[in-house]
Amino acid sequence: MQISQDIKYIGVNDRINPLFEGQYSVPKGMSYNSYVITDEKIAVMDTVDGGFTAEWLENLKAALEGRKPDYLVVHHMEPDHSANIAVFMERYPEAVIVSSQKAFGMMKNFFGTDYDDRRIVVVENDTLSLGKHTLTFVTAPMVHWPEVIMSYDSLDKVLFSADAFGKFGALDSEEEWENEARRYYFGIVGKFGMPVSGVLKKAAKLDISTICPLHGPVLSENIPHYLELYTKWAAYEPETDGVFIAYTSVYGNTKKAALSLEEKLAAKGCPVISLDLARCDRAEALAMAFKYKKLVCASTTYNGGVFPFMRDFITDLADHGYKSRQVYLIENGSWAPTAANAMKKLFEGCNDVSISENIVKINSAVNAETIAQTEALAEEIAAQ
């Protein structure tokens, strides 16, 4: 893929591994992105996952067209991008690695060497001239590892953004960017909103025409849209004034109440979506909670507490910095209802989350009283 006259894409698509990072479902695969800038000097931008070494080396060889690379720029040391550093350095013994100080410490851990005689350590605003192209480095610690840097090519106005602006999915899969990028962001980067906000402030000062991330498609159209979404995500702001209903149900009664509420909210014109936490993708549920302004948690009482899938969901929210949302609860308990109190306790790990005192209580099965309660809750949610 030709990014510009001098920049080529040499990454790979992974359609072998069903899980990314051992936990995120990627039914449409994953891309590991790498790039080459060809100028008076040649810079290779990152490597790829160790399972695709041969393919990447062939892509690199084709892009080099008989020349030898001068630099390997390492933006991020996670193994899906750094696994082939040692292979590259052995194949191209005259090349020099350009990266952050912390990255070289990680190379020592991964490869047994920090390439002390073949390295350039860069910090904020350092530059690397390739000829016509000059790279300016932007430090991005904790987006989402501490060693991360980004680089900006002032000639073609390209930002090499490391894991920022990435998404799930191989590059030959056709799908909207937002959904899988949101699922990727909140699952992997979402906990680090403050560092992301800091980097976005730096990016706002750059004239960016193209974003080259380490996962997902190269972004070259409507850049302000992607920056706006990332700004909201980093600030934990909802994208829409809608309602996400997350529910768990053993015998279908809690589900019936949750879907009844969904129907009533839709009738009132509220944007609303519901997911069964035991059957949906965990990362999708997390992303939906951040997308919408209001969250309804409907759960069965289980073992004197809350149903495990709901417990894990709320714990995930707290672990990923969930904040500044309105939460509503539905509980079901045949003989000792405790789900609502258990959920309230779990939400104590979140900042600035307001929980409504209007709790729908189901005693085993949905009845006329339950329906009246869901109607009252729908009225409250729609009015806020």
Helices 282-291 and 177-184 cross at an angle (nearest 10°) of 100
Give domain status of residue 1, yes or no: no
Domain shared by 223 and 358, yes or no: no
Across 55-69, average pLDDT: 98
pLDDT at 180: 96
pLDDT at 334: 82
Tens digits of residue pLDDT in 132-152? 999 999 999 999 999 999 999
Domain shared by 254 and 202, yes or no: no
pLDDT at 335: 81
- How far is Cα 306 from Cα 308, in angstroms, rounded to an integer? 6
Domain shared by 327 and 366, yes or no: yes
Per-residue buried b or exposed e for 141-180, using 16+ beta carbons within 10 Å of the residue's own CB:
bbbbbebbbbbbbebbebbbbbbbbbbbbbbebeeebebb
Domain shared by 45 and 144, yes or no: yes
Among residues 196, 213, 234, which one ends one of the domains?
234
Q: Residue 93 belongs to what domain range?
A: 7-234
Give domain status of residue 196, yes or no: yes
Among residues 234, 261, 276, which one ends one of the domains?
234
Which of 43, 261, 41, 266 has its CA nearest to residue 131? 41
Q: Helix, strand, or coil here: 127?
A: strand
pLDDT at 1: 87
Q: Cβ atoms within 10 A of the Cβ of 222, count?
A: 10
Tens digits of residue pLDDT in 177-210? 999 999 999 999 988 999 999 999 999 999 999 9
Domain shared by 274 and 378, yes or no: yes
Domain shared by 291 and 180, yes or no: no
Task: Give the tokens for residue 92.
Answer: 């191209």
Domain shared by 39 and 149, yes or no: yes
What is the largest distance, in Å, between two alpha-carbon atoms of the chain?
78
Tens digits of residue pLDDT in 199-245? 999 999 999 999 999 999 999 999 999 999 999 999 999 999 999 99
Domain shared by 225 and 252, yes or no: no
Q: State the CATH number of the domain containing residue 15.
A: 3.60.15.10
pLDDT at 63: 98
Among residues 214, 234, 254, which one ends one of the domains?
234
Domain shared by 312 and 173, yes or no: no
- β-pairing, 134-139 with 127-129? antiparallel
Domain shared by 363 and 248, yes or no: yes
Highest mean pLDDT among 82-86, 248-252, 367-371: 82-86
Is pLDDT of 365 > 90? no
Q: Confidence class of residue 363 from pLDDT cuts 50, 70 and 90?
A: confident
Domain shared by 332 and 251, yes or no: yes
Domain shared by 216 and 266, yes or no: no
Output DSSP code: residue 186: I
The count of structural domains within the chain is 2
The helix (H) or strand (E) run that includes residue 158 is: strand 158-160
Give domain status of residue 2, yes or no: no
